[in-house]
């Protein structure tokens, strides 16, 4: 099915290099914010072997992409509606085979995904950490690449390494950076400016700033409650920033 022949959704990949920097929490909340703006949003759990979008959302998943690949189940029947306009395509957890799909499985998953995405305005992919094949493939499949990083040296290095691989081996040149867990706006700006300098100097890439998410106790509280913080604490600083990020995404 050709994406150009029908309504073409915007496909956005959310990756980080390092794990534990807040990819899933960001993905879930930005998807919620986009849906609140009246958009039809699909969030794909791209961590195929260690999924946790369902955990962050506190939903019980009956069917996952694993059944589509292994049993031929219709992908549409795996979709779970979270809020009006916001649906999730869950993956399985603790299934190493799903983390390294064969060519036929990947090709089959691609064609199955392309059959269902036309009904959405935005398709977000919350990828696994690292630079594994599925991460690189989801990034090449997407039109917009968001890389999340924190001010930690390990996160900086891994985010840079991910961008370097995507740029050098997969021809990606446009990246949006989201700095997470910053103590202040100033810190967020410093991290972004520094990363931009390195990317421009060594890779000739000029990234765009998507935002800086503040450290916010209400975020961890919402995660423990298994709810998007946008719904659990709509007045929090993190919620305000996520709404601003959603507006920037809508303007892309």
Give the footprint of other proteins on this chain (CB under 8 A): 102-104, 106-107, 110-111, 133, 137, 140-141, 151, 153, 156-157, 160-161, 164-165, 168-172, 190-191, 193-195, 197-198, 201-202
Pick the closest to residue 109 from 125, 122, 94, 121 (CA basis).
125
3/62 with CB nearer other proteins? 3
Length of the chain: 252
CB atoms within 10 A of CB 146: 26
Pick the closest to residue 209 from 235, 184, 232, 175 (CA basis).
175
Please report where in the chains the tokens 């968001």 appear, as a residue.
146
Closest separation in Å from C-beta 152 to other proteins: 9
37/190 with CB nearer other proteins? 190
Contact between residue 9 and residue 122 where contact means Cβ atoms under 8 Å apart:
yes
Closest separation in Å from C-beta 93 to other proteins: 24
Query: 3-state class of 226 per DSSP?
Result: coil
Closest separation in Å from C-beta 27 to other proteins: 20
81/200 with CB nearer other proteins? 200
d(CA 214, CA 14): 18
d(CA 118, CA 29): 22
151/234 with CB nearer other proteins? 151
62/206 with CB nearer other proteins? 206
Closest separation in Å from C-beta 228 to other proteins: 30
155 is written with which tokens?
């996160």
Closest separation in Å from C-beta 69 to other proteins: 12
């Amino acid at each position: 099915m050709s994406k150009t022949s029908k309504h073409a959704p915007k496909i956005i990949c959310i990756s980080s290099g390092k794990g534990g920097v807040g990819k899933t929490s960001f993905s879930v909340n930005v998807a919620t914010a986009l849906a609140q703006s009246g958009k039809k949003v699909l969030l794909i759990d791209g961590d195929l072997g260690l999924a946790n979008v369902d955990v962050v959302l506190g939903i019980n998943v009956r069917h996952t992409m694993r059944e589509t690949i292994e049993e031929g189940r219709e992908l549409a029947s795996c979709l779970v509606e979270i809020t009006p306009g916001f649906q999730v395509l869950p993956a399985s957890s603790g299934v190493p085979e799903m983390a390294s799909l064969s060519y036929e499985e990947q090709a089959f998953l691609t064609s199955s995904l392309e059959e269902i995405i036309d009904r959405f305005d935005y398709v977000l992919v919350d990828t696994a950490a690292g630079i594994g094949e599925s991460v690189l493939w989801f990034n090449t499949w997407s039109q917009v690449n968001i890389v999340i990083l924190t001010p930690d040296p390990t996160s900086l290095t891994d985010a840079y390494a991910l961008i370097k691989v995507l740029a050098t081996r997969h021809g990606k040149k446009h990246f949006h950076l989201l700095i997470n867990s910053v103590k202040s706006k100033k810190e967020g700006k410093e991290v972004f400016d520094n990363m931009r300098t390195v990317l421009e100097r060594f890779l000739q890439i000029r990234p765009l700033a998507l935002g800086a998410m503040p450290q916010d106790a209400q975020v961890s509280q919402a995660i423990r409650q298994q709810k998007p913080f946008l719904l659990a604490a709509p007045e929090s600083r993190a919620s305000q920033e996520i709404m601003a990020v959603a507006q920037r995404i809508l303007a892309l």
